[in-house]
């Protein structure tokens, strides 16, 4: 089970561009991919403000978004190991860490795309199945979560009341998480979100929710960013079966006590 521990920030981070530029290319792709994932997590942060009235800091949001803007078009230069591009990427990766320290939580850096990547990592470890370097999983997962936003925006949703079946859910969690399942079940029982009926709230806020969801670049655009560092979607679908992807979409949110588009999607999807 993935457990997050609080720690103090480092005093010093050393990043020698002359060393970093010669890193294995998949590590450079992973660094870029983790930054690209900020499109998704920053949007989840705004969604959590609309839905849950969560703490939000515009300055931290803007700083993180600026770093994303400086990094997103560097794909070709990163592939060429251009030192200035590598430096910008490293500064963004460290800068996002600073943003988390300012915010006091990982909202500026981690949302639904990280929940999916953690799912692939945890389930991969439990079942001894392969998974990508973290940032590569994050980049691919950001495409998946954007596809969910697009589905939510496309559909005319009919809202029904919450019919959460704890027994059926626990059975599914044990199926997908295996030896990590009890930790997941304990976390969600403590949190109690599954039993809550958010539908009336979603209905009341639907326009505001849709306005937030629309802010992310389309999945097509995100796929083009991935292609700029030679991360084709084929590589993702070759590694993860459609069953695994479907399970991730349904059960990755249970790994964390954090609201994201996955909660919105999974509440509405079955009832639409």
User: Under rule CB under 5 A, how many of the chain's residues touch Zn ion?
Assistant: 1
| Distance of closest approach, residue 125 Cβ to Zn ion, in angstroms | 16
Residue-wise DSSP of 171-237 = HHHHHHHGGGHHHHHHHHHHH-TTTS--HHHHHHHHHHHHHHHTTSPPHHHHHHHHHHTT--HHHHH
- Comparing CB distances to Zn ion, the nearer of 74 and 96 is 96
- Comparing CB distances to Zn ion, the nearer of 34 and 44 is 34
| Distance of closest approach, residue 169 Cβ to Zn ion, in angstroms | 27
| Distance of closest approach, residue 33 Cβ to Zn ion, in angstroms | 9
Taking CB under 5 A as the criterion, the residue among 21, 30, 32, 34 binding Zn ion is: 34
Q: Which two tokens stand for residue 135?
A: 């940032």
| Distance of closest approach, residue 14 Cβ to Zn ion, in angstroms | 20
Name the closest residue to Zn ion (Cβ): 34
| Distance of closest approach, residue 137 Cβ to Zn ion, in angstroms | 9
Taking CB under 5 A as the binding criterion, the range among 27-35, 87-95, 168-176, 213-221 that sits at the site for Zn ion is 27-35
- Comparing CB distances to Zn ion, the nearer of 34 and 254 is 34
Instruction: Report how far apart the first and last C-alpha atoms of the chain are (Å, whole number).
Output: 32
Alpha helix segments (H runs only) across 104-165: 112-127, 134-154
Residue 146 within binding range of Zn ion, rule CB under 5 A? no
| Distance of closest approach, residue 213 Cβ to Zn ion, in angstroms | 22
| Distance of closest approach, residue 64 Cβ to Zn ion, in angstroms | 13
- What CA–CA distance (Å, rounded) separates 19 from 17? 5
What is the CB neighbour count within 10 angstroms for residue 108? 26
- Comparing CB distances to Zn ion, the nearer of 71 and 267 is 71
Long-range contacts of 180-189 (CB under 8 A, 24+ apart): 180/1, 180/122, 180/123, 180/126, 183/1, 184/1, 184/251, 184/254, 184/255, 187/254, 187/255, 187/256, 187/257, 188/254
Taking CB under 5 A as the binding criterion, the range among 34-42, 79-87, 186-194, 262-270 that sits at the site for Zn ion is 34-42
Taking CB under 5 A as the binding criterion, the range among 30-38, 56-64, 141-149, 249-257 that sits at the site for Zn ion is 30-38
**CB-facing half-sphere around the CA of 93: CA atoms within 13 A:** 19
- What CA–CA distance (Å, rounded) separates 156 from 147? 16
Q: Measure Cα distances from 51 to 45, 107, 205 in Å.
A: 10, 15, 8
Taking CB under 5 A as the binding criterion, the range among 13-21, 28-36, 65-73, 227-235 that sits at the site for Zn ion is 28-36
- Comparing CB distances to Zn ion, the nearer of 112 and 267 is 112
Which residues contact Zn ion by CB under 5 A?
Answer: 34
């Amino acid at each position: 089970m993935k457990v997050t521990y609080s720690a103090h920030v480092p005093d010093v981070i050393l990043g020698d561009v002359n060393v970093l530029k010669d890193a294995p290319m998949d590590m450079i792709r992973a660094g870029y991919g983790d930054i690209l994932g900020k499109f998704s997590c920053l949007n989840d942060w705004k969604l959590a403000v609309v839905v849950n009235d969560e703490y939000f800091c515009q300055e931290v949001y803007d700083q993180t978004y600026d770093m994303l803007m400086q990094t997103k078009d560097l794909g070709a230069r990163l592939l060429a190991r251009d030192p200035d591009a590598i430096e910008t990427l490293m500064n963004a990766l460290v800068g996002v860490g600073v943003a988390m320290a300012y915010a006091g939580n990982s909202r500026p850096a981690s949302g639904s795309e990280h929940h999916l990547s953690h799912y692939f990592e945890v389930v991969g470890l439990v079942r001894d199945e392969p998974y990508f370097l973290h940032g590569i999983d994050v980049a691919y997962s950001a495409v998946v979560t954007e596809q969910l936003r697009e589905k939510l925006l496309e559909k005319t949703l009919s809202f029904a009341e919450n019919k959460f079946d704890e027994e059926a859910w626990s059975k599914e969690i044990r199926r997908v998480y295996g030896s990590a399942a009890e930790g997941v079940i304990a976390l969600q029982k403590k949190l109690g979100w599954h039993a809550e009926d958010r539908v009336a709230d979603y209905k009341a806020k639907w326009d505001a929710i849709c306005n937030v969801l629309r802010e992310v670049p389309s999945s097509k655009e995100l796929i083009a960013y991935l292609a700029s560092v030679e991360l084709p979607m084929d590589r993702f679908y070759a590694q993860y079966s459609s069953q695994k992807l479907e399970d991730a979409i349904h059960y990755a949110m249970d790994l964390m006590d954090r609201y994201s588009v996955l909660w919105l999607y999974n509440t509405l999807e079955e009832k639409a």
